[in-house]
A and B are shown apart, each in its own frame.
Chain A
Amino acid sequence: MTDSVPVPGSVSVADSVSASASDPGDVPGSGVPVMGPPGPDGRFGDFGGRFVPESLVPACMELEEAFAAAWADPSYREELGAVLRDYGGRPTPVTECRRLSEELGVRVLLKREDLVHAGSHKLNNVVGQALLTRRMGKRRLVAETGAGQHGVAAATAAALFGLECTVYMGELDTERQELNVFRMELLGAEVRPVRAGSRTLKDAVNEALRDWVATVDHTHYCIGSVMGPHPFPYMVRELQRVVGDEAREQCRALLGGDDPDVVVACVGGGSNAAGTFAGFAPTRARLVGVEAAGGAAASDGIPGVLHGMRSLILQDEAGQILEAESVSAGLDYPGIGPEHAHLAASGRARYEKATDAEALDAFGLLARTEGILPALEPAHALAWVVREAGRAVPTGATVLVTLSGRGDKDVAQVRELLAAGRDTGRDDR
């Protein structure tokens, strides 16, 4: 592990972005920066790359150049920062959970991405990509969504910047998240239900990519997580690192200059976790990603190629992709962002699982002890803390959990599950 990594002083966003091989975030002895830029072929260690049809290769190259230019351009960064501040409500606070901490015997801090406009961390990403879309002279966004959080965020950004927006959503998810479909439509987006395959997030990604192949001259694929072909995983992580960079400074203010002992975030594709981890990779904090037990690609997946990236993927022995199954539509994804696969392989982060039942319990616990309804996705991160308090998280330790979104979207579903008295626990597999 990397407990001996030296703790750098306060690092600004700009400094962190230009992380080089001499960055203090290096894994000791490896010479490779932790969460620096990927290699020239878009690789994070053995993972990443650009496995897309030839039709899309030029668009990925154009995007790579456009993002590099924008990210190095102070005017882009200023505009992004101003929109996230004046429109999005950043910075979001870190909240000390007094009653929950007392109950668990560990000190729990929450990074409150549930307070971002539109209800989740997804806005950080879509504002960045919408600004980039405008820079590239394109007029339309296409997006995939699982729980609907990213779809709502993309529709929000499209409305804000006057872009057309089409959101692909698995038919099963449109049923589970009916209200979010209506939200997207209110925001002016067109929602197209996807009836292929498992009718969930992975199929929505397929369909969004198929749309993009045909419309790439005027459309940007506003991907929702740290996945897909290079440069998407890198770009989305950079756009989400504001979560980790803010949280690190806020934790240091709260903890007398110290960092939390453990930093925890839920992982579907893994964008809120990547953004959070990017801020804490150079610190002594243990990094823990929590997956839904029914879709735990980091724990149960094997190397493969899906949606343009080489990563850890749930698949059968012939290479057919398996269907993830979780109470949380946002974690129903059979893969994981390639950088997470790399962080798992290098040992810098660990990936754990929480069951549907544990997540539901944590959802209720946070509501009762702190007056906060978390989205079901980060309820998995909380569930791991609840389960491991006094075990993997020693009594008295300080834990930061990224509360990636608010639970309003899940209230109807939680009511049904609780009313049905359904045993939603699944065997870890």
Chain B
Amino acid sequence: MIALEPWLRARRDEGRKLLVPYLMGGMSDDWVESLQAVVAAGADAVEVGIPFSDPLMDGPVIQRAGAHALDRGATPARVIDDVASAELAVPVAAMTYYNIVFRMGHRRMARSLRAAGIGAAIVPDLPLEELDPWAAEADAAEVATVLLVAPSTPQPRVARICARSRGFVYAVARMGVTGERESLGSESADVVERIRQVTDAPVCVGVGVSTPAQARAACAAADGVVVGSALVRRLLEGGGPDAAAELVGELRAALDES
């Protein structure tokens, strides 16, 4: 297993901007090939969604991908097994909702992720106040729990979140759910700036970052970006591993120019 934070720090410190593509686990027969393709195309880490029936933080594209994955019989255990079989050369973060973690059990989920080489977890509906039971098991299994900072988060709370976040700090670019937007929005740089005031951990911006230009703009302040809906949409539209690699390649090129 590759630990997320040292890996991202090392790349950042070399002057590289971090690219973290998101894919929905189990959304198609060849989703593991897509995962491998985005790594080959220049991802620094990948985020894999474990589908949940009621994804509160997600917009229509990722909702549809999740529903599709569930219709195809995806389960948390199967997605985790698939990731293990992919033998990726970069760190992996699992992204899911708390009921999936709660149902499997904190310890069992943490150990399953670890055993599959998944070194990080993002659980967006598990805020600081509710975090401890999961975080204790995640820490014990050396699974990094990435926490989110939102535009609405007051500064004293930003400090507390960053002190507890592992792997990187996820800067939510805008108030709203995941999905492609025309523009990055003005709140993104402000959130990153407020995170910088309290931590030197890597900061990646997500939620509404979809084009190479937006990725580059976000990285003017941040260390990296998470790109989900734009990639998942291509896959939903029938583009396979090649289409996924193409978008990630474009994003990589844009970040390397900056």
Contacts and interface: CB of A to CB of B under 8 A. Distances in A.
Contacts of A160: none
B54 A318 contact: no
B99 interface: yes
A202 B52 CA distance: 14
Contacts of A58: 150, 152-154, 157
Contacts of A55: 148, 150-152, 172, 175-176
A54 B124 contact: yes
Interface in B122-139: 124-130
A14 B239 CA distance: 62
Contacts of B53: 197, 320-321
B57 interface: yes
A305 B102 contact: yes
A213 B70 CA distance: 25
A54 B54 contact: no
Given A54-B124, A319-B52, A304 B103 contact: yes
B177 A214 contact: yes
Interface string A302-320: 0111111010010101111
A305 B127 contact: no
A41 interface: yes
Interface stretch (A45-53, A134-142, A261-269, A352-360): A45-53
Nearest to B158: A54
Interface string B202-222: 000000000000000000000
Contacts of A59: 152
B161 interface: yes
B54 A206 contact: yes
Contacts of B147: 54
B125 A51 contact: yes
Interface string A43-83: 00000011111111111000000000000000000000000
Contacts of A213: 57, 175-177
Q: How large is the interface on A (under 10, 10 to 19, 20 to 34, 35 or more residues)?
A: 35 or more
A83 to B, nearest CB: 31
B52 A320 contact: yes
Given A51-B125, A53-B150, A304 B102 contact: yes
Contacts of B76: 318-319
Contacts of B174: 214
A50 B54 contact: no
A209 interface: yes
Interface in A34-48: 41
A206 B98 CA distance: 15
A305 B54 contact: no
Contacts of A49: 129-130
Given A58-B154, A318-B103, A319-B103, A53 B124 contact: yes
A197 B67 contact: yes
B56 A210 contact: yes
B59 interface: yes
B75 interface: yes
A51 B103 contact: no
A305 to B, nearest CB: 5
A54 B104 contact: no
Interface string B60-96: 1001000100100001110000000000000000000
Contact of B127 (A57, A304, A310): A57
Nearest to B55: A206
Interface in B163-209: 172, 174-177
A318 B151 CA distance: 32
A306 B124 contact: no
Contacts of A56: 152
Nearest to A304: B99
Considering residues B99, B150, B157, which has the most beta carbons from chain A within 10 angstroms of its beta carbon? B99
A408 B256 CA distance: 65
B100 interface: yes
A59 B153 CA distance: 10
B121 interface: no
A319 B75 CA distance: 10
B56 A206 contact: yes
A194 to B, nearest CB: 11
A321 B54 contact: yes
* Most-contacted residue by chain A among B54, B77, B130, B147 (CB, 10 A): B54
A101 B104 CA distance: 49
B144 interface: no
B37 interface: no
A216 interface: yes
Nearest to B100: A319
Interface string A19-42: 000000000000000000000010
7 tightest Cβ-Cβ pairs between the two chains A and B: A319-B103, A214-B176, A55-B150, A320-B53, A319-B99, A54-B150, A54-B148
Given A50-B130, A197-B53, 4 more contacts: A53-B127, A203-B54, A214-B174, A214-B176
Interface of B: 52-57, 59-60, 63, 67, 70, 75-77, 97-100, 102-104, 124-130, 147-154, 157, 161, 172, 174-177
27 contacts: A41-B130, A50-B127, A50-B129, A51-B98, A51-B126, A51-B130, A53-B57, A53-B125, A54-B149, A54-B150, A55-B152, A57-B127, A57-B153, A196-B67, A197-B53, A206-B55, A210-B176, A210-B177, A214-B174, A214-B175, A304-B99, A305-B125, A307-B56, A318-B104, A319-B100, A319-B104, A321-B99
